[in-house]
Amino acid sequence: MSETARAIVSGVFASVAFLAAYFALTHPPSLPTGHVIVSVVLALGVYVGVFLVLPRRTTLADRLRLALSDGSVAPEEVADMLLAARERIAALRDAGTRLSADLQARVLSLADLADRIVGLLEAEPADFRRVGRLLRRDLTAASEIADRYARLDTAVLDPDRAAEVTRRFQAALSDFERVLQKHQARTYDNELFDLEVRLQMVEQQDRSG
């Protein structure tokens, strides 16, 4: 329901509640049933009116429309990319569960970190332009490489070649870890800046008051 529709419906129920109260005061019901009916109408009117007036919990679509209001990127496109990112993180986790214990711990840790970054992005979609490359390219590459390595039977390879493939896979994980940590650090820097601005506003209000 749009905000305009919410306001109209809220006004209708408030008017009904007002008329019921006015009628009850000017024409007191003679039967107990009348008091019950008036009470129910008043309670319903107040409940629905308050429910409609109270601010709604914003959805991801609402936050995307607000953050991307300049039209540079369609909110639907970003929502699809976030959904795809969740799927890639799930694929990364699945590949991690098929690795040896030491590699499994690294891959699952990276999946957790990626999940936190995507969660922060869903809460603050304005950061999408900075994290877009992570969603489009880096997560896809990490999940595909992890899956390919997990399906690889290193036991049938020449030991030197198997060791080289493992070394390169671990290096790729390290690169991806640095990318994730960089994004997380920038996200926290933005949040810290927002907090400092809000604190400064409160301090100025206290001094002026």
Residues 87 and 180 in one domain: yes
Is-contact 92 42, C-beta < 8 A?
no
pLDDT value at position 31?
47
Residues 97 and 173 in one domain: yes
Domain count of the fold of the chain: 2
pLDDT value at position 77?
76
Query: Tens digit of pLDDT for each residue in 153-178?
Result: 877 889 999 999 999 999 999 999 99
* Last-in-domain residue among 15, 31, 53: 53
Residues 135 and 89 in one domain: yes
Residues 43 and 68 in one domain: no
pLDDT value at position 197?
74
In terms of phi and psi (left: phi > 0; alpha: psi -120 to 50; beta: otherwise), the region of 71 is left
Residues 23 and 94 in one domain: no
Q: Compute the distance between CA of residue 94 and CA of residue 108 in angstroms, rounded to an integer.
A: 9
Residues 137 and 172 in one domain: yes
Q: Compute the distance between CA of residue 95 and CA of residue 191 in angstroms, rounded to an integer.
A: 32
Residues 155 and 177 in one domain: yes
Residues 159 and 114 in one domain: yes
Residues 46 and 141 in one domain: no
Residues 36 and 117 in one domain: no
pLDDT-flagged residues of the chain (< 50): 1, 31, 51, 53-56, 60, 66-67
Q: CA 131, 135, 136 angle in degrees (round to 5)?
A: 115
Residues 8 and 104 in one domain: no
pLDDT value at position 108?
97
pLDDT value at position 82?
86
pLDDT value at position 70?
54
Query: Which domain does 18 fall in, by range?
Result: 3-53
Residues 29 and 76 in one domain: no
Q: Structure pTM? A: 0.60
Q: What is the DSSP letter of 156?
A: G
